[in-house]
Amino acid sequence: MPLQHVPIHDVHYLSLGRHGDLRNDLGYPLFWTGSGVGLDYDGAELWLEIEASYNEYEPWISVDVDGTQVSRLALDRGSNDVCLFRGLDTGTIKHVRVLKETQFMHEDPSQTCIVRGLRCDDGQFHPLASPTLRLEFVGDSITSGEGLEGARTTEHYCSMIFGARHGYPCLVADEMNADFCVISQAGWGIVCDCENNPHCTIPSIYERVCAPARGKTNAELQSDAPYRFDDWPADAVIINLGTNDATAFLWHQWTDPSTGEQFELRTGKNHEPLPEDLEFIETAVNHFLRTVRKRNPHAVILWCYGMLGNRLEPILRRAVEHHATSTGDGLVRYVPLPACSTDDLGACQHPGRVCHQSAAAILVRILREMLHR
């Protein structure tokens, strides 16, 4: 029988990831790593209609059916018809999850990735249970899953090497039967990016839906709107930042070619970070923790660090512990993560799957303890 088209907003689905007001005719936007849709469908065949636009960095998606990854593919420009499954039993509910594997590429700010609808047989879509546990992950390229896909020998930065499905945020969420969302950008940090640009920081965009997104379509999708934290109250916020700030100490001074503005995290004797710049980072950590607590008043907050070096561990640990002590916040904790060994590296010198699995195991143990799960 011919398949029928159904707009995404006309069926029961679980929205995964940050988004703005969904009362629009455009569909469901996939902004960040791990954004996607969950579907319960009892027919024999189901296709996804998803549209992408980009200049250089194509989005990739992965498809799970009943908890098992069945496909991973890059999207072409324009409309894409993606087979989620076909030839399965009619009448049996299949649990489908589609995840965006790639982060929002700030180097390609007008890119879009929008679920428009579905093509299906005469099966029925079933309501999905609301999640009982919500986990938010905040970070950089490690949290974005850079290097998880592709060969270890791959050194070229491209969309293909990013993976959400096997990254520690997804691993933690699946182990705890939780919903999760991610806000992360490769190269970005607490006070600057890895090349000392002070305008590329995660705290500066945390309270927006997807601030790096630009262009008419992204504006219509409310990418720069304030994020409504109350619509998706996180039970825990897991922050993994500091790696790029540590790298910036080894980089040269950043200069804005238009304004002449300059910024640099400096080193002194023996190439050790200057104390005043470490203090600057400590202040920024405390400020960001206050923001995260304001937006997530009842959540456990973990600040983890160490998968790609631990040069800033003393200052990060001190900042997090000082914040917890000075505010009396017993739900804030610093969590050191094991460094990724050379043998466990993936593409582009980033953590591979074994390293992500190790980090996930530690986070699951601590979250279960603190959330009493």
pLDDT in tens, 22-53: 877 899 999 999 999 999 999 999 999 999 99
From 234, 54, 32, 36, select the one nearest 143 (Cα to Cα).
32
Task: Tell me: pLDDT of 350 over 90.
Answer: yes
Q: What average pLDDT does the segment 121-138 reach?
A: 95
Give the residue with greater pLDDT, 373 vs 275. Answer: 275
Q: What average pLDDT does the segment 270-282 reach?
A: 96
Task: State whether residue 368 is helix, strand or coil.
Answer: helix
- Position 140 confidence tier, pLDDT thresholds 50, 70, 90: very high
Sequence-distant (6+) residues with CB within 8 A of 272 are: none
Token pair 């546990």 is found at 133
- What global pTM score does this model have? 0.97
59 neighbors 34 (Cβ within 8 angstroms)? no
Looking at residue 34, what is its pLDDT? 98
Task: State whether residue 351 is helix, strand or coil.
Answer: strand
Domains in the chain, ordered, with CATH? 4-126 (2.60.120.260), 134-371 (3.40.50.1110)
**CA–CA dist 48, 328 (Å, integer):** 48
Task: Tell me: pLDDT of 154 over 80.
Answer: yes
- Position 61 confidence tier, pLDDT thresholds 50, 70, 90: very high
369 neighbors 362 (Cβ within 8 angstroms)? no
**CA–CA dist 71, 47 (Å, integer):** 13
**CA–CA dist 211, 218 (Å, integer):** 10
Work out whether the CA dihedral 328, 330, 332, 336 comes out positive or negative: positive
Give 40's DSSP letter. Answer: E
Looking at residue 22, what is its pLDDT? 83
Task: Tell me: pLDDT of 1 over 80.
Answer: no
**CA–CA dist 361, 328 (Å, integer):** 28
pLDDT in tens, 166-190: 999 999 999 999 999 999 999 999 9
Interior/surface letters 178-193, b for 16+ CB within 10 angstroms, e for the rest: bbbbbbbbbbbbbbbb
From 184, 215, 216, select the one nearest 200 (Cα to Cα).
184
Task: State whether residue 360 is helix, strand or coil.
Answer: helix
Arithmetic mean of pLDDT over the chain: 96
- Position 225 confidence tier, pLDDT thresholds 50, 70, 90: very high
Looking at residue 2, what is its pLDDT? 87
